């Protein structure tokens, strides 16, 4: 029997199924928590194999956003939306229909870009809803957040290096980047500038060719399995989630894992196994929060310098997580969860006092 939403004890406040037959819209909006504020998270447009798969993704991603926004010191909760379908076939009418559903939630959920959506899509959605961020600069938004997302991952990697090797320097370190789309490609640039030896792979040959055109010195692995099994200092998963499976946890030869992909661990046991093997995993929702920090700034009038300063705090936050992991003898992902839950509890208690 398939497990229902109420059976999971996931803590979600609200899950909304949205359908508009004339446009073909089939979407799920998952609001995990509004304890810290409105639930902010992107909308993923993906050809899911089933509604169950789409629901699973929405629930997992929205919970991750609660932790991400809490650790980023944002007064925002966690939410996520998924649209079932081929993003190549999306239409203005479908996106605007989705926008009407977002608007109907009255601000409990704020939508943004994710896999399969872009700033142009957000501009269309914003024609039906005021609760949209990640819009284009021409529409008063912050534009594509890939740059600050990649910068935050790079800072998290430097913090991990300091914890493990006693220096923030990545010069001479071998870093494997799996996935060189928008964020991964920018991350590669930071790593090359830092003097790292970079090995890349991607299921898209054109993506590999594009990044090699910018950085001819890059090495290319045959596939992700070959990259994971190679001699690496740092492994950076920058594609879709689920990159860290039980098999990867046993075969990975890197000392640090730090990448931009969401929901990298297939389950919590993988994080424990990595830690048992002496591999330091920088939690994805901590180090990849640069993008959500950028788009959240739109709500106050976007200023790139201010957003960059807030992203730079990822370095210190990553160090705090690793230090707590050491003190409490737990994997970093457990330490990160405790810090996020502590902030949600503390601020939620204060808000309860103020409104009681």
Same domain? 164 vs 281: yes
Same domain? 307 vs 182: yes
Phi, psi of 292 (to 5 degrees): -70, -30
Q: What is the DSSP string of 142-166?
A: ---THHHHHHHHHHHHHHHHHHHHS
pLDDT score for 349: 77
pLDDT score for 2: 57
Same domain? 205 vs 299: yes
Query: Is there a contact between 332 and 71 (Cβ–Cβ < 8 Å)?
Result: no
We report the CATH number of the domain holding residue 108 as: 3.40.50.10860
| Residue 335 within any structural domain of the chain | yes
Q: 211-226 in b/e burial notation, b at 16+ Cβ within 10 A?
A: bbeebeebebbeebee
How many domains is the chain partitioned into structurally? 2
Q: Which of the 8 DSSP states describes residue 11? A: -
| Residue 122 within any structural domain of the chain | yes
Question: Angle of helix 51-71 relative to helix 332-355, nearest 10 degrees?
Answer: 80
Separation between Cα atoms, residue 186 and residue 34, nearest integer Å: 32
Q: Which of 116, 138, 160 is the last residue of a domain?
A: 138
We report the CATH number of the domain holding residue 254 as: 3.40.50.720
Residue 237's domain comprises 146-341
Task: With residue 326 as reference, give the H or E element that holds it.
Answer: helix 304-328
Separation between Cα atoms, residue 275 and residue 179, nearest integer Å: 24
Those residues with Cβ within 8 angstroms of residue 277's Cβ, 6 or more apart along the chain or in another chain = 249, 250, 252
Mean pLDDT, rounded, of the chain: 93
Q: What is the DSSP string of 267-315?
A: SHHHHHHHHHTT-EE--HHHHTTHHHHHHHGGGG---HHHHHHHHHHHH
* Average pLDDT value for residue range 273-282: 97
Same domain? 229 vs 178: yes
Same domain? 282 vs 185: yes
| Residue 68 within any structural domain of the chain | no
Catalytic-residue membership of 80: yes
Percent of the chain at pLDDT exceeding 70: 96
| Residue 51 within any structural domain of the chain | yes
Separation between Cα atoms, residue 273 and residue 281, nearest integer Å: 10
| Residue 354 within any structural domain of the chain | no
- pLDDT(1) > 60: no
Q: Which of 88, 119, 138 is the last residue of a domain?
A: 138
CB atoms within 10 A of CB 269: 11
Q: Which of 237, 124, 123 is nearest to 176 (CA)?
A: 237
Instruction: Give 191's pLDDT tier (boundaries 50, 70, 90).
Output: very high
Length of the chain (residues):
356
Query: Is there a contact between 280 and 256 (Cβ–Cβ < 8 Å)?
Result: yes
| Residue 233 within any structural domain of the chain | yes
Task: With residue 337 as reference, give the H or E element that holds it.
Answer: helix 332-355
Among 68, 80, 90, 182, the active-site one is 80
Q: Model pTM? A: 0.89
Same domain? 190 vs 95: no
Separation between Cα atoms, residue 178 and residue 346, nearest integer Å: 37
| Residue 69 within any structural domain of the chain | no
Q: What is the DSSP string of 110-148?
A: EEE--TT--HHHHHHHTTT-S-B-S--GGGTS---THHH
Instruction: Give 355's pLDDT tier (boundaries 50, 70, 90).
Output: very low
Beta bridge mates, 244:
265
pLDDT in tens, 82-141: 999 999 999 999 999 999 999 999 999 999 998 899 999 999 999 999 999 999 999 989
């Amino acid at each position: 029997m398939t497990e229902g939403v109420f059976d999971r004890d996931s803590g979600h406040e609200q899950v909304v199924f949205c359908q508009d037959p004339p446009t073909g819209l089939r979407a799920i909006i998952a609001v995990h928590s509004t304890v810290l504020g409105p639930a902010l998270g992107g909308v993923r447009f993906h050809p899911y194999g089933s509604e169950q798969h789409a629901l699973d993704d929405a629930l997992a991603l929205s919970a991750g956003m609660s932790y991400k926004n809490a650790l980023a010191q944002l007064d925002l909760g966690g939410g996520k939306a998924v649209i079932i379908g081929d993003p190549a076939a999306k239409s203005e009418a479908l996106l605007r229909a989705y926008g009407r559903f977002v608007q109907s939630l009255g601000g409990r959920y704020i939508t943004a870009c994710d896999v399969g959506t872009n700033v142009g899509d957000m501009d269309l959605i914003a024609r039906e809803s005021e609760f949209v961020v990640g819009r284009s600069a021409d529409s008063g938004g912050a534009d594509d957040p890939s740059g600050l997302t990649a910068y935050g991952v790079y800072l998290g990697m430097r913090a991990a290096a300091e914890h493990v090797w006693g220096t923030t320097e990545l010069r001479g370190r071998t870093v494997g980047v799996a996935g060189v789309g928008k964020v991964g490609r920018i991350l590669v640039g930071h790593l090359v500038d830092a003097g790292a030896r970079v090995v890349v792979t991607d299921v898209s040959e054109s993506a590999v060719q594009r990044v090699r055109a910018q950085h001819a010195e890059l090495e290319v692995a045959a596939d992700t399995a070959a990259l994971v099994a190679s001699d690496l200092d740092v492994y950076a998963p920058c594609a879709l989630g689920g990159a860290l499976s039980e098999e990867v946890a046993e075969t990975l030869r890197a000392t640090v894992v730090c990448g931009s992909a969401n929901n990298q661990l297939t389950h919590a046991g993988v994080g424990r196994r990595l830690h048992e093997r002496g591999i330091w995993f920088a939690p994805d929702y901590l180090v990849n929060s640069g993008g959500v920090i950028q788009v959240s700034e739109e709500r106050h009038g976007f200023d790139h310098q201010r957003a960059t300063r807030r992203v730079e705090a990822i370095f210190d936050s990553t160090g705090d997580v690793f230090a707590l992991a050491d003190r409490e003898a737990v994997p970093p992902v457990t330490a990160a969860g405790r810090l996020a839950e502590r902030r949600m509890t503390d601020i939620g208690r204060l808000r309860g006092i103020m409104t009681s």
